[in-house]
Amino acid sequence: MSQAPIESKAGACYKAFESLLDMRRDIVTAIPALNCAATIAEVVAGCLRVVTEVVVVDDGSSDATAERAGAAGARVERLGRNHGKGFALRRALELALASEPAAVAMLDGDGQHDPADLPTLVEAWDGGRSSLIIGSRMSDSGNIPRARYWTNYIGSRILSRMSGYELSDSQSGYRLASAGLIRQWRLQSNGYAVESEMILKSSHLRAQLEEVPIRTIYGAEQSHFQPIRDTVRISCESIYFKLFGDQLAEDRPSDDR
């Protein structure tokens, strides 16, 4: 009797076991999501090829975002109404930290952040140089819509001056941060300024920051970000966090890396 089918199944099981061993249990992924039913399952499944836990906070979606995220393997919390990206991300971080990870990865659920880039951020984290890793799309800037490119460029120049970091993509929400740094941030923003708040408070805490290249993806998905309006709001809130960041973040240097 041929043993090929048995050997084939054994080989597949062994590869699956090897893959499981390679997955990161010390990193949790946090995803805020709003009306991402078309993309969230693929995003969650992609992250679960790298980490063992994904947290999704559905920010009051009117579609099946929560159901599809849960079916794909995420731990899901659904908010009763829309509170804003910053609020949903803060809640996702809170839930992720409850698992006591060493670090938390953050990305959006609308398909503009490729889970296949997550190992790049993890590799930078493993390098031990930085406690905040940001995925930068600027190496592939030709695929960024012009309005988004210029508002991001101007915002990144301003935030670079304010923070002391050399930033190419300050609006990128694809990030990985140490759990210790996240706890020290004491984030307050409910909107898109949450990413700038992270940077400015990291600067105050004298945390090391590093950018790594990621893919630029702009397809048919509907973005909730309005370049001019939201950039103005981010800039105003950034000034506030710059002026009062020392009172809003834990007042001691980050001892994470």
Residue spans of the domains in the chain: they are 4-248
The sign of the dihedral angle between the CA atoms of 80, 82, 85, 90 is: negative
Q: Any idea of the CA torsion for 231, 190, 53, 139, to the nearest 10 degrees?
A: 10
Task: Kindly state the DSSP code that residue 223 receives in the 8-state scheme.
Answer: P
Per-residue pLDDT of 215-253, as tens digits, reads 988 665 555 555 556 555 655 666 666 666 555 555 555
Residue 8: predicted pLDDT: 59
Taking residue 250's Cβ as centre, other Cβ atoms within 10 Å add up to 15
Q: Measure the CA–CA gap between 109 and 139, rounded to whole angstroms.
A: 22
Which H/E stretch holds residue 21?
Answer: helix 4-22
Q: Any idea of the CA torsion for 127, 130, 133, 137, to the nearest 10 degrees?
A: -80
pTM of the model: 0.81
Report the topology of domain 4-248.
Spore Coat Polysaccharide Biosynthesis Protein SpsA; Chain A (3.90.550)
| pLDDT greater than 90 at residue 77 | yes
Mode of pairing for the β-strands spanning 103-106 and 24-33? parallel
Per-residue pLDDT of 93-108, as tens digits, reads 999 999 999 999 999 9
Per-residue pLDDT of 172-199, as tens digits, reads 999 999 999 999 999 999 988 899 999 9
Q: Which residue has the higher pLDDT, 239 or 36?
A: 36
Q: Measure the CA–CA gap between 53 and 97, rounded to whole angstroms.
A: 11
Residue 132: predicted pLDDT: 98
Q: Which residue has the higher pLDDT, 12 or 80?
A: 80
Per-residue pLDDT of 90-144, as tens digits, reads 999 999 999 999 999 999 999 999 999 999 999 999 999 999 999 999 877 677 7
